[in-house]
Copies of this chain bind each other. A is one copy, B any other.
Amino acid sequence: MTYCLGIINRFGIVMGADSRTNAGVDYISAYRKLFDFSLAGERAIVICSSGNLSITQGVITQLKRDLHHGEPRNLYNLPSMYDIAHYIGEKSREIQDSDRPWLERNNIDYQCSFLLGGQVQGENAQLYLIYPQGNFIQATKETPFLQIGETKYGKPILDRTIKYDTPLDAMAKCALLSIDSTMKSNISVGPPINLIMYEMDTLVVRHKLELRLGDPYLAKMRKLWEDHVRSAFDAMPNLEWEPEESQSNDDILID
């Protein structure tokens, strides 16, 4: 399993991914799932991937090849983020098409998803989720984050904190906590964690981070978070239980 997320708001974009890949629970390894394809000063392009590793690696390799061979459609000459999302979706469809009969024969899941975040000169920054079917959606002001892979454990913290005017630094910490929560609850999501922070209109990804297993920042963050959770419980008013005399045990009556 994998967990990747992207958040966009008025200040920029934060994207993060874990690195764990597993084939069952008895074969676990680490692969990067966050890739920075930016062309400094012209366009910032960051891609995260989840799903069948042979397919996602295939797509990433194809993107690089098209760049290096100067193909007419590549990450550097497509005119907009929308076109880039469309192009990645097409690549994903192509590779899935060619492998599907062989994988299906053995009930191997060949689906994969991508997050695409960045900014092309002349446009606003944008964030997309490209589905296994190659179609895609864009994050908006109302729903400023997108997730792929093991999305559920890390969603509550995002639902509660991410707003259109959340500062970038807080967004990055929140992304990290969202990934950490997922790692704690699902063993198939694990370090190293890759994180990028993109400041609006800079057209270059200046902030990158890789946190390895046992990184002191991760440990400190986890401890501090758990302390705050406990103090939140202490601060919460006591529950107002129903007065005992008003309780009648209706539950055992036959309706």
Interface of A toward B, CB cutoff 8 Å? 35-38, 61, 64-65, 67-68, 152-157, 159-161, 169-170, 172-174, 176, 181-182, 184-185, 195, 197, 206-210, 217, 220-221, 224-226, 228-242, 244, 247, 249, 251-255
A161 CB contact (under 8 Å) in B36, B230, B252, B254: B230
Please judge, given known A-B contacts A228-B235, A249-B36, whether A208 and B156 are in contact too, CB under 8 Å: no
Chain B residues in 8 Å Cβ range of A160: 181, 184, 225-226, 229
Cross-chain contact B159 with A156 (CB below 8 angstroms):
no
Please judge, given known A-B contacts A68-B254, A160-B184, whether A231 and B228 are in contact too, CB under 8 Å: yes
A64, A68, A221, A233, most chain B CB atoms within 10 A: A233
How far is it, in angstroms, between the C-alpha of A44 and the C-alpha of B22 when the chains are bound?
A: 43
A185 CB contact (under 8 Å) in B152, B207, B209, B217: B152
Cross-chain contact B224 with A236 (CB below 8 angstroms):
yes
Please judge, given known A-B contacts A224-B232, A241-B207, A252-B64, whether A184 and B156 are in contact too, CB under 8 Å: yes
Q: Which B-chain residue is minimally distant from A182 (CB atoms)?
A: B156
